[in-house]
Structure 1
Amino acid sequence: MIYKLFMSVYKEYLLLKRDLGGVVILFIMPLFLIITVTLIQDNTFKTISDAKIPILLVDNDKGKVSKTVYENLSKSDIFSVVTKIDDETLTEIQARKAVFSGKYQLAIVIPKNLSLDLQNKIDQNVEKIVSSLGMTDTLAKKENSKIFDQKEVKLYFDPAVQMTFKNAVMSSIDKMISQIETHSIYTAFQDQLGENSASFEQKSFITFKEIVPKVNDREIIPNSVQHNVPAWTLFAIFFIVIPLSINIVKEKTQGTFVRLRTNPVSSLIVLGGKTVTYLIICMMQFYMMVAVAVFLFPHLGLPSLHIEGKLILTSIVALFSGFAAIGFGILLGTIAKTQEQSAPFGATATIILAAVGGVWVPVFAMPRVMQIIAQSSPMNWGLNAFYDVLLRNATFSAILPEIALLFLFFIGTITIALLYDKKKRAV
């Protein structure tokens, strides 16, 4: 039986050898993919970025608020502030046109008299509070309260920018304005109570501190490499579906499968040979990806993949992910009648599984319905297992459920393929 299995593996090797170009593509294209995507996404994981996003600032206020907004944005590691175009001070019309045409991603328009009206409104409100407490001259003539119109800070966004970018910018601007208002209120109270009154502590009382996992007293900070290497390695492993299904269809159309059936060899031996052969390819893909992430990425200005002490567990995850991909490929090759059916369907199905599984968009950012559907994607199981090992320092027992699901998927697809083939031959 071992000899038959070995010869079945050798037969798969000969098939692959006939198409060396296709085999090379299986290894080269995932490498280009992982390098390109990681380079593109690296800045989103960095706290300091060399490439700043230019934003337009139209200052109609010329006061304290606009000055503070300008200073805070200028200090930002993300934005560079543009107030002039062609040495001319920006107007709202120019800014809107530049943003809506796609030349800039964002324009901020500070309304006229924002600082003055804000200070007057705060002074008026503080004076009311102080008066109600009986801390002012009761004989003084009370002035009628003035009504101040609400001010709007206008934000113009390029229609092509993502909603996450919009929300982040609006939150940042809102925080800056709130800090200015708070500072102004404290200052107004201090002025009303007199110079001899105790000064207010204006430092933020509540602060935020991120607590991240530690290994050997060293913080493990997630980066683009830790997210992209597992995701796109899985994508590459599942792309094995295409050549595997095509080879099975070739065997059927060229009569090779019929000749195999005439020999004293069971279907399990034939499928075992395919499984072993393509598992070797999957693991070679995985180790090549890891080698690139560990040794090449630092030379490209990217973080190195920290895999010390985790190589065995990640190898196990890659192995069982390979099982799932091979099972899906065998099922597809068994059902498909022509290469024209198997190739496009395999490519499309792999992309759908990747999209649903969280390779492109995190599952938590999906609608509730898609989050439920994502739980059925084998790529989601493999991705969670990789993240558990690389980012959450999980043990083997913690990833056992995902590994079991991947292997059950393999068993299920192989069983369906065998039953379908048996039924088709019986007809």
Structure 2
Amino acid sequence: MPKLLASAYKELLLLTRDIGGLAVLFLMPLLLVIVITTVQDGSFKTIKQNKIDILLVDKDKGEVSQTIHDNLRTSDMFNIIEQSNENEAQKLIQNGKYQLAIILPENLSNDLNLKIAENVDGILAKFGVDESEDLPGTIQIEPKEVKLFFDPATQFSFRNAIKSGINQMVSKIETKSIYKAFQEEISEDSNEEIFDTESFIIFKEIIPNSGKEAMIPNSTQHNIPAWSLFAIFFIILPLSINMVKEKNQGTFVRLRTHPVSYATVLGGKAIVFLLVSLIQFALMLVVGIFLFPLIDLPQLNISGRLPLLFVVALFAGLAAVGLGLLLGTIAKSQEQSAPFGATFVVILAAIGGVWVPVFAMPQLMQTLSNLSPMNWGLNAFYDVFLRNVGFIEILPEIGLLTLFFIATTFIAIIYYKRKNAV
């Protein structure tokens, strides 16, 4: 134990003498999470809170177009700007001044009513309700196109959401028109409502939480755990670089002359850098709880979750330390350890779901994400932050992180012994 503490003290001295390295370890992750969360929260607010300006070119001027106009205006998403010229609207969209333009075709209301009346008369005639024997001939009515002009820079998901919403709106208008036509044909009182046109099937969004209070995920709940993991795993750079320096400066040679095992040397490094990872995580939580509300970002809610959060951070730190010990043992120079370490962390973050959610990845990348320790840690954090689980539920992820630490440390010790065997 005294040897392990002495090794840890030596690592602490090396770390505290590098002021620039400490700044990178603690300040840069905080700056990163603030910037990323601010950018993403602004995007969320644009979609959820601020109305989007859209152009509406109404060539119909009828009942259907008025209904569409009213539905768009009463929605919480759009601010309607009327435009009379279709070509001008297209230019404004192409130039990026607006994201969407809706073009309602001529005679939309009239042709829709004619088509519905024709279908209703045909149905009633087949059932013998319409007693008139001379039915008018079938009128060829061309389908109407509601044109949607999108800004080329608009995201594909936004386009699909808008098209789906417009399609549902038009379908509802058609359904009500059909009900109205039937009512006029079979009822003497035009004011009497025979058909209930309200939607029978409705949707209710529920977050399954086993009776516990579920948190509504926002930019803070997603970014604090994700970029905390990124910062924790970035400690492999200073850890591996310090180990390479010791080898190049002859410190390892002097350590070999003392009765100290390589496992003890690695244990001292693990203790110090594990402490660093926990401090990084604590600073992230402080920023999310106290700083974010001051800069108009959602506050991080950790009520009742703090112990489990630090448990996940502890084991994520162990996995990062194990990776750093392995890299520092194998690398022969800083030119090897620094670029490889930085690139490898970015790759682990990319396939682990830190940047892009795993469900949005191709199937191959979703499979590969299961191999990333960042994905294990991120799932454990999400379980605690968003799903309100207990310690038992996060044991699989914690187990994987622990096995990763044991495997990488064991490989580092075996590699060192074989390389330095006499």
Same fold (TM over 0.5): yes
Q: 2:259 aligns with which of 248, 260, 264?
A: 264
Counterpart position of 2:380: 385
Q: Structure 1 residues 43 and 185 mapped into 2: Cα distance closer, same or farther (>3 Å)?
A: farther
The offset of 1:59, in angstroms, is 2.3
Distance 1:344 1:157 in 2: 42
Q: 2:89 aligns with which of 95, 99, 119?
A: 95
The offset of 1:50, in angstroms, is 4.1
2:214/2:388 contact within 8 Å kept: no
Counterpart position of 1:123: 117
Q: Structure 1 residues 192 and 356 mapped into 2: Cα distance closer, same or farther (>3 Å)?
A: same
Distance 1:253 1:50 in 2: 57
Pairing of 1:18-33 with structure 2 (within 5 A): 18-33=17-32
The secondary structure found in structure 2 opposite 1:210 is coil
2:214/2:386 contact within 8 Å kept: no
Pairing of 1:368-383 with structure 2 (within 5 A): 368-383=363-378
Q: Structure 1 residues 322 and 217 mapped into 2: Cα distance closer, same or farther (>3 Å)?
A: closer
Corresponding position: 1:396 with 2:395: no
Corresponding letter in the other structure for 1:389: V
1:43/1:49 contact within 8 Å kept: no
Distance 1:21 1:155 in 2: 54
Counterpart position of 1:9: 8
Q: TM-score, normalised by structure 2?
A: 0.93
Q: Report Cα offsets for 1:217-270 as digits up to 9, x if no partner.
A: 755322222222111111111111221121112112222222222222111111
Q: Structure 1 residues 99 and 354 mapped into 2: Cα distance closer, same or farther (>3 Å)?
A: same
1:46/1:223 contact within 8 Å kept: no
Distance 2:89 2:420 in 1: 70
Distance 2:332 2:66 in 1: 69
The offset of 1:394, in angstroms, is 0.9
Pairing of 1:301-340 with structure 2 (within 5 A): 301-340=296-335
The secondary structure found in structure 1 opposite 2:420 is helix
2:215/2:385 contact within 8 Å kept: no
1:37/1:228 contact within 8 Å kept: yes
Q: 2:339 aligns with which of 332, 338, 344?
A: 344
Q: Structure 1 residues 352 and 29 mapped into 2: Cα distance closer, same or farther (>3 Å)?
A: same
Q: Structure 1 residues 145 and 316 mapped into 2: Cα distance closer, same or farther (>3 Å)?
A: same
Distance 2:50 2:252 in 1: 56
The offset of 1:46, in angstroms, is 6.0
Q: 1:184 aligns with which of 148, 157, 177?
A: 177
Corresponding position: 1:367 with 2:367: no
1:225/1:305 contact within 8 Å kept: yes
The offset of 1:215, in angstroms, is 8.8
2:209/2:387 contact within 8 Å kept: no
Counterpart position of 1:283: 278
Q: 1:104 aligns with which of 89, 98, 102?
A: 98
Counterpart position of 2:221: 226
The offset of 1:52, in angstroms, is 3.0
Distance 1:236 1:356 in 2: 16
Corresponding letter in the other structure for 1:130: L
The offset of 1:331, in angstroms, is 1.5
Counterpart position of 1:75: 74
Corresponding letter in the other structure for 1:311: L
1:213/1:220 contact within 8 Å kept: no
Distance 2:183 2:18 in 1: 81
Q: Structure 1 residues 153 and 46 mapped into 2: Cα distance closer, same or farther (>3 Å)?
A: same
Distance 1:14 1:41 in 2: 39
The offset of 1:153, in angstroms, is 1.9
The offset of 1:99, in angstroms, is 2.4
2:209/2:388 contact within 8 Å kept: no
Counterpart position of 1:173: 166
The secondary structure found in structure 2 opposite 1:143 is coil
The offset of 1:43, in angstroms, is 5.2
Distance 2:310 2:290 in 1: 18
The offset of 1:277, in angstroms, is 0.5
The offset of 1:44, in angstroms, is 5.6
Q: Structure 1 residues 154 and 267 mapped into 2: Cα distance closer, same or farther (>3 Å)?
A: same
Distance 2:62 2:223 in 1: 45
- Percent identity for Structure 1 against Structure 2: 57
Distance 1:115 1:198 in 2: 22
CA RMSD of aligned residues (A): 2.2
The secondary structure found in structure 2 opposite 1:155 is strand
Q: 1:158 aligns with which of 123, 143, 151?
A: 151
